[in-house]
Amino acid sequence: MDDFTYHAPATVAEALALRAEGGGAARYLAGGSDLLLAMQRAEPPVARVIDLKGIAALREIRVAADGGVALGAAVTMAAIERHAHLLAHYPALVAAAAAVGGPPIRNRATVGGNVCNASPAADTSPVLLALGARAVIAGGGGERELPLAELWSGPGRLTLLDGELLTAVRLPALPPRTGCGFQRLTRAAMDIALVSAAAVCTLDRGDRITAAACALGAVAPTVLAVAGLGAALAGSRADAGTLARVEHLAAAAARPIDDHRASAAYRREMAGVMARRAMAEACDRARATSGGAA
Amino acid sequence: MVQQAEQQALQQQFRYVGKRIPRVDIVSKLTGAAVFAEDVKVPGVLYGKLLHSPHPHARIVRIDTSRAEQLPGVRAVATAADLPDKRVGRVVKDEHYFARDKVRYVGDRVAAVAADTREIALEAVRRIEVEYELLPPVRDAFEGLAAGAPIIHEDLLRYTVVGPAKPQGGNLCSLNSLTRGEPEAAFGECARVFEQVYTTQMQHQTYLEPHACVAVYNPDRTYTIHTANQGQFPLRNAVAEVLGVPQNQVRVVPAEIGGGFGGKSIMKIEPAAAVLAKKAGRPVRIVMSRHEDFIGGNPRAAFHITLKTGVTADMRMHARTIDVVMDQGAHAMGAGAMAASVTQFAEGPYAIPNLRITSRLVYTNKACTSAMRAPGGPQINFALESETERICAAMGWDGIEFRRRNAMPTDYVNTAGGVNRSVFTLDTLEACLALSGYRHDRARLGPNRGRGLALGNWNVGGNASGAVIKMNGDGSVNVIGGVVDLSGVNTTMTQIVAEALDVPLERVTVKSLDTDSAPHATNSGGSQVLKSHGLACFKASEHIKAQLFELAVDELDASAERMELKGGQVRVQGEPSRAVAVTKLLSQAQGKTGPIVGYGATGNSPRMPSMAAHVADVEVDPETGQVKVVRYCAAQDVGLAINPMSVEGQIHGGVAQGLGQALCEQFTYRDGQPQNAGFLDYKIPSALDVPMIETTLVEKPSVAGPYGAKGVGEPPVVPVPAAIANAIYNAVGVRVTSLPITPEKLRQAIREQERGGGA
Ligand SMILES: Cc1cc2nc3c(=O)[nH]c(=O)nc-3n(C[C@H](O)[C@H](O)[C@H](O)COP(=O)(O)OP(=O)(O)OC[C@H]3O[C@@H](n4cnc5c(N)ncnc54)[C@H](O)[C@@H]3O)c2cc1C
């Protein structure tokens, strides 16, 4: 990884042009906390590095009038951790950001890098997925948007077209009485998740679930939404029986592997436990919110 | 109370010993001025890189280095052909430094290159062509013992044995056994006999600094090697053996060392750097990557321990057999010695009249295990102290009373036939119970919380060591030792010499010098430095005193026996007015005896147990099996703490390392291939995983060490896994008998219990 050129464009357009010129040996760099490790093994070697942190627009957290949020791709975990609106309305995202590495890593690591590295264990991804986030993408042909789930095609693989750039992750506004939760299991503190789960739910005045979603990390080739969970839970009371259904559905949805960190069977069981706990957290927070997210 | 008074009286005798003195190296470490091996600057230095075997077991058909040699910027390539065809080893001579006929583990050294840049060196290594004929690997110790297993060392029975190992042929590198009484017959006299198997994992030392060295081949055909090794003398001897040169032609200069824990008591890259430096005619630096350091390291061996224990109705262990099978890896290294030493301390902190300990050390196609902090200690102790609690639970006995009745007393004749002096088992146990309030709030810890106790020992030996002290004209002194400054050695030696000569600390300089300059000394390991080198420094001080007293005979008109050295004066005891300044004697010496130089030495000394008693409080998440350690208390029998701050630091570090062994660390292989050779995958506890550790020091002087001090580095790692396992049992009622106790393993055990299958 010794001979590469470094570029610090000031605009997205410049970044796209540099990337197009550099071809397959060029890479976008955000915090570099994944990229630098990947560069040590990259074949063919990386010849051009395009640093996105100089692009002001990518470092912004924009709160819309309805309370929804656009997170610039180069927003760091540390910035998420101390953002008042995110702390108030998306505490699960803050918890996930705060779970990434140690403080020095969180000062560099970005949400765009976390998403684009496409690790199934990425901590912010399950929360973003459960919240129904959309990816905003810039490319030669202009801007487009996709549901986040459609961005990942496998471990470390994206559906982005060659040279395309993630500019932001858009979080929809949350309906009233909506809460979110995030849980992760590791072997020791400061570890990549063995299993993680995020949950979102909306309750009506009678404590019945009107909408719910759950996403799992580290139990499939990509971060995974638990399919059919919203429909299965709709109308049911947010009680222990419902949480047991969440556990069951999540464990059934998981497609984990065996490795030296844990067996597939354990990961599957834990996917259920983490999902249940995340959903319990989400329900508690939904009850605690008085009105809408705005 | 009595004990406290005793301790205070002990400490008041001294001015420098027993005090919390900041480390003498603290400023250079904190400012970054300390020079580690990688920092050593030598003009014209080349980058060295090793080629490691990618296969666990294979025959080498052909090695072709020509494509590497042709690469511009490559200055030397070395293979087995560049070294004498001679097997080396500290215990069993079972290893060619560079593989010759076969490779025996992933990471085995095949060749090395030296080049102008790191990139060229890496490329050159890739260009070396090795044709291998793959052989089936021996994946674990039991596979190695099985009939028809692939044989790793075909010539084992023809190998030279220099240590306590007893090779048996096949893959059985050593079989050692010790017996007292008649255990088999004695089981028949017992009220009940318990049997249980315990297993432990391979654990890496995970020192902060990977192995690094710089080698220079000098015009006078000698070698100079700067290295981060735990002992310049053992290393020098090992390198000279590999190179086939006399020991005087290798000069090893100790660099600052970024941790060792036993992992740096073995030669590693130094011979490769030396042979490359000679071939290239330029100095060579080799720094191992973390990956290389894992695959080519010398981790703690995995043990399989079968315990059989017979108890009498009056709570006594009457008979016990301990059968240990050790997964040694490809070469004997330090593990060969461990097989023997384990048999010596496996009796643990107990006195059992009928006892047999058998250890089998088995070659496997994995990294060569060797010394790691208290080699063998925590493995055996995990079995012994888990079993203590299992027996007591089954019999309805109180674990503390059981330990009291079976505790090893002092002056105990051990199973090997030696006498264990200065053993303070019960004092240590009681100190820990008091510190932790063991019984006090045990019932009120809260749901899924439990408290666990373990009592452990490490038997500290001592190896031959010499020290020289030069007294300067102004009465200040320079202490010359050949012991690496690890875990505060130089600070402790400063305190010992300052005390012995009654000179202020700032007038004592202790240096660990190279092998040409210092007298032969032991390596910094096994908690033995204080007992061996510390005593040598003390004796060298006494030698200085004797010379000064002799010089003062005329001046004071008194015999030397009546004199004392106090505050820069030699005085007649009890008559402070009859005194002469040391500086005056020193200037007189110039005209009489010449310079004042003291020499002190110690020979090998027998092992003596140092005790540690630990209490852990844990909280278990029964749904996930996760364990959080919420409180930790450690008491240790230290003789006298020369520097209590250093001793407490050793206890804190030992406990943290023990928690890793207890809960998360495990170096794993699949079909002979390492699975987690890096810190992303090999998990060690971080500051967030380790609770505050409360300590108490039991200070009852030992008969062996200077000022009654004992070795302190190993004991605190020993009882940790058992204390944690016992705490988990008390929290959720399940006993895990294999280390590490990962969340998955514990969850599995809890699930079995939920289904009613648990024991
Ligand atoms: C010590 C350590 C601990 C860690 N712990 C955790 C943890 O606990 N949890 C966790 O989830 N992760 C962890 N990580 C991984 C890493 O920090 C995160 O994935 C981080 O969010 C990556 O962000 P980055 O800005 O550093 O990405 P980079 O390394 O800069 O980029 C990652 C990848 O995404 C591409 N990329 C970046 N931005 C864009 C963009 N806008 N458009 C298109 N492609 C882009 C890059 O080209 C690269 O391929 C850890 C890493 C380290 C080194």
Under an 8 A CB cutoff, do A270 and B119 touch?
no
Q: How confident is the model at residue B196 (pLDDT cuts 50, 70, 90)?
A: very high
CB contact under 8 A, B624 and A263: no
With H, G, I as helix, E, B as strand and everything else as coil, classify residue B129.
Answer: strand
Q: Tell whether A187 is within 8 A of chain B (Cβ).
A: yes
Q: Residue A31 above 70 pLDDT?
A: yes
Q: How are beta strands B129-134 and B212-217 bridged, if at all?
A: unpaired
Q: Is the ipTM beyond the 0.90 threshold?
A: yes
Please give the Cα distance from B79 to B48 (Å, whole number).
13
Taking the Cβ of residue A263 and every Cβ of chain B, the question of whether any pair is shorter than 8 Å is answered with: yes
What's the pLDDT at A293? 40
Q: Is B752 on the interface with A (CB under 8 A)?
A: no
| Residue from B673, B683, B684 whose CB has the most chain A CBs within 10 Å, to mutate | B683
Q: Is the CB of A33 under 6 A from ligand 1?
A: yes
Mean pLDDT of B305-311: 98
Q: How many CB pairs below 8 Å do chains A and B form together?
A: 42
Nearest Cα residue in chain B from A276: B623
The alpha carbon torsion through B420, B424, B426, B430 (nearest 10 deg) reads -160
Check residue B22 and give left, alpha or beta (phi > 0: left; psi -120 to 50: alpha).
Answer: beta
For residue A77, give the ligand 1 atom closest to its CA.
21
Q: Which amino acid is at B259?
A: G
pLDDT over 80 at A292, yes or no: no
Q: Does A104 touch chain B (CB under 8 A)?
A: no
pLDDT band at B143 (very low <50, low <70, confident <90, very high): very high
For A107-122, write each residue's pLDDT tens digit. Answer: 999 999 999 999 999 9
What six digits make up the tokens of B72?
């511009």
Q: Give the span between the Cα atoms of A133 and A67, in whole angstroms.
A: 14
| Contact between B683 and A191 using a beta-carbon 8 Å cutoff | yes
User: Would you state the pLDDT for residue A28?
Assistant: 97
Res B757: pLDDT: 59
Tell me: pLDDT of B4 over 80.
no
A3 CB near a chain B CB, below 8 Å? no
Q: What average pLDDT does chain B have?
A: 95
pLDDT at residue A294 in the model:
33
pLDDT of residue B340: 65
Q: With CB atoms and an 8 Å threshold, state whether A266 touches B684.
A: no
pLDDT at B440: 79
Per-residue pLDDT of B696-738, as tens digits, reads 999 999 998 899 999 999 999 999 999 999 999 999 999 999 9
pLDDT surpasses 60 at B741: yes
Residues of B in contact with A2 (CB under 8 A): 119
In chain A, the residue whose alpha carbon lies closest to the alpha carbon of B668 is A260
Mutate: best of B47, B126, B688, B744, partner A, most A CBs <10 A: B744
Three-class DSSP labels, chain A = CCCCEEECCCCHHHHHHHHHHHHHHEEEECCCCCHHHHHCCCCCCCCEEEECCCCHHHHCEEECCCCCEEEECCCEHHHHHCCHHHHHHCHHHHHHHHHCCCHHHHHHCEHHHHHHCCCCCCCHHHHHHHCCCEEEEEECCEEEEEEHHHHEEECCEECCCCCCEEEEEEECCCCCCEEEEEEEECCCCCCCCCEEEEEEEEECCCCEEEEEEEEEECCCCCCEECCCHHHHHCCCECCHHHHHHHHHHHHHHCCCCCCCCCCHHHHHHHHHHHHHHHHHHHHHHHHHCCCCCC
Share of residues in chain A with pLDDT > 90 (%): 91
**With bands split at pLDDT 50, 70 and 90, how would you rate the model's confidence at B259?**
very high
Distance between CA atoms of residues B132 and B672, nearest Å: 16
Average pLDDT over every residue of A127-131: 98
Identify the pLDDT of residue B336: 65
Rounded Cα distance between A235 and A212, Å, is 10
* Mean pLDDT score of chain A: 95
Which atom from ligand 1 is nearest to the alpha carbon of A190? 8
Quote the strand ranges of B427-550, DSSP E. 449-462, 465-471, 477-481, 508-512
| Run of H or E residues at B233 | helix B232-243
Inter-chain CB proximity A190 and B675 less than 8 Å: no
**Residue A31 Cβ < 6 Å to ligand 1:** yes
Q: Is the pLDDT of residue A96 over 90?
A: yes
Confidence of residue B759 (pLDDT cuts 50, 70, 90): very low
The predicted-structure confidence for B428-437, as pLDDT tens digits, reads as follows 999 999 999 9
Q: Is A169 in the pocket of ligand 1 (CB under 6 A)?
A: no
Q: CA B311 to CA B194: how far, in whole Å? A: 8
Distance between CA atoms of A111 and A77, rounded to whole angstroms?
Answer: 7
Q: What is the pLDDT of residue B525?
A: 87
Give the pLDDT band of residue B758 (cuts 50, 70, 90): very low
pLDDT tens digits for range B506-549:
999 999 999 999 999 988 888 889 999 999 999 999 999 999 99
pLDDT at A1: 53
Average pLDDT over residues B21-39: 94
What distance in Å separates residue A262's CA from the closest CA in chain B? 7
* Nearest chain A Cα distance for residue B160, angstroms: 38
Q: What pLDDT was estimated at residue A152? A: 97
Tell whether B663 is within 8 A of chain A (Cβ): yes
- d(CA A129, CA B750) in angstroms, rounded, equals 33
A2–B contact, CB cutoff 8 A: yes
- Residue B689: list chain A partners with CB under 8 A: 188-189
For residue B648, the model assigns a pLDDT of 97
Query: For position B416, what pLDDT does the model report?
Result: 86
In the numeric block, which tokens belong to residue B572?
């007649």
Cross-chain Cβ contact B675/A192 below 8 Å: no
Domains of chain B, first to last: 2-34+464-602 (3.30.365.10), 373-462+605-754 (3.30.365.10)
| Distance from the B672 Cα atom to the nearest Cα atom in chain A, whole angstroms | 14
> Are A167 and A73 contacting, i.e. CB atoms less than 8 angstroms apart?
yes
pLDDT tens per residue across span B369-413 = 999 999 999 999 999 999 999 999 999 999 999 999 999 999 999
Q: What whole-number distance in Å separates Cα of residue A71 and Cα of residue A94?
A: 12
Domains within chain A, CATH numbers bracketed:
5-51 (3.30.43.10), 58-171 (3.30.465.10), 178-287 (3.30.390.50)
Neighbours of B41 (CB within 10 A): 10
Q: What is the pTM of this model?
A: 0.96
As a whole number, mean pLDDT of residues B654-677 equals 97
Confidence of residue B3 (pLDDT cuts 50, 70, 90): low
Encoded tokens for B474: 């102004």
Mean pLDDT for the stretch of residues A185-214: 95
How do residues B76-86 score in pLDDT, each as one tens digit? 999 999 999 99
* Residue with the larger pLDDT of the pair B91 and B275: B275
CA distance A261 to chain B (A): 8
* A73 ligand 1 Cβ < 6 A: yes
Mean pLDDT within A238-260: 96
